[in-house]
Structure 1
Amino acid sequence: MNKSQLLAAIITALESIHQNAKAAAKRAHDTATDDENIAENKYDTLALEAAYLAQGQSVRVAQCAADVQNFKQLDSAINCSKVTVGALVSIIDEQGNQKTLFMGPSAGGLKVTLNGQEVVVITPSSPIGKELNQRQVGDEVSLTLGGKPIVYEVLALS
């Protein structure tokens, strides 16, 4: 898999999420400042609730912008010999199920599909990211998911 194409797909997905967050923040702000939402009595909290939502949406917009910036700063040309931020990792479990992961600086859980293959973004602070960090091809890692231990082997790294 071409890492520069993957990074471009991740950035495109993050930019789309950022645009959606900006639109949601604008809607929340418009609701919070709408004349029809002025409190009619001390128990009418619609405007206050909308203001809290608008503030939360603004924080989300800032986080999305930071995610885009973080990924734009990554160098896709670096080939990793150990799992670190920027590494594309293929792992396999004991049943032969293969997964492709990208160790990103943020945006953990984001899924992108490139050339029909799903890639999941993980971060160094995630459970699987902590286990995979600094591992090499051939290393095994063990996780407990849903109370069940799962062992993965690092198949490939780039």
Structure 2
Amino acid sequence: MIQKTELIERILESLRKELTVIKEGARESYEVATHEESQPENRFDTHSLEASYLAAGQAKVVVEIEDAVMRCQNMELNAFEPDDPIGVGALVKLKSKRETTFYFLVPIAGGIEVKDGRKTILVITPQSPIGKLLVGHKAGEVVHLETTTLPKKFEIVSVK
């Protein structure tokens, strides 16, 4: 099983790639918004205004990703004992009738998938539906997740 330090490195790698793409998009949007050819020709021409809104939105996302990188770099990776409740930093293995899934609970960067051989570890936050469900539970317990299709029952196999 992948180590938590390696998980954090992979999360940081994903965040840095996303940051590069967003920064480039923000730069391009800013250039479009401030270019002399983007000046409105009449009061109905909103091209420059729309580009400036886009640049501002992308700049906000840049700040959020930079914050996520910083928080990820400074995150303490505590070991969990078998009887410890699930909390931030836990690597959790769940099993249902059909599948076994792995989750890494962190304060930020939810939604990133990390491949570990044939396994996929999904990064989740305490604010996500599955994160809310898991926090405070322990290995050996069963949790129920209500979904739009069918409710699912998961056994918490391990917490590391």
| TM-score (ref. length: structure 1) | 0.93
Distance in 2 separating the partners of 1:84 and 1:19: 31
Tell whether the 8 Å contact from 1:39 to 1:46 is kept in structure 2 after alignment: yes
Distance in 1 separating the partners of 2:114 and 2:26: 24
Q: Does 1:130 align with 2:132?
A: yes
Tell whether the 8 Å contact from 2:11 to 2:109 is kept in structure 1 after alignment: no
Match of 1:148 in 2: 150
Q: Does 1:98 align with 2:100?
A: yes
Deviation at 1:137, TM superposition (A): 0.4
Gaps of 5+ in 2: none
Tell whether the 8 Å contact from 1:13 to 1:112 is kept in structure 2 after alignment: no
Q: SS of 2:145's equivalent?
A: strand
Q: SS of 1:145's equivalent?
A: coil
Deviation at 1:117, TM superposition (A): 2.3
Match of 1:115 in 2: 117
Deviation at 1:147, TM superposition (A): 3.6
Partner amino acid, structure 1, of 2:52: A
Distance in 1 separating the partners of 2:101 and 2:50: 42
Deviation at 1:6, TM superposition (A): 1.2
| TM-score (ref. length: structure 2) | 0.92
Q: Which deviates further from its counterpart, 86-95 or 58-67? A: 86-95
Deviation at 1:70, TM superposition (A): 1.4
Deviation at 1:115, TM superposition (A): 3.3
Match of 2:79 in 1: 79
Question: For residues 71-129 of structure 1, what are the alpha-carbon distances to aligned partners after superposition, in whole Å with 9 as ceiling and x for unaligned?
Answer: 111123x112221111111111122x011101010111111213342111111111110
Identity, % of aligned pairs?
Answer: 32
Q: Which deviates further from its counterpart, 63-72 or 38-47? A: 63-72
Match of 2:7 in 1: 6
* CA root-mean-square deviation: 1.2
Moved over 3 A (4+): none
Match of 1:43 in 2: 44
How many residue pairs end up in the alignment? 156
Gaps of 5+ in 1: none
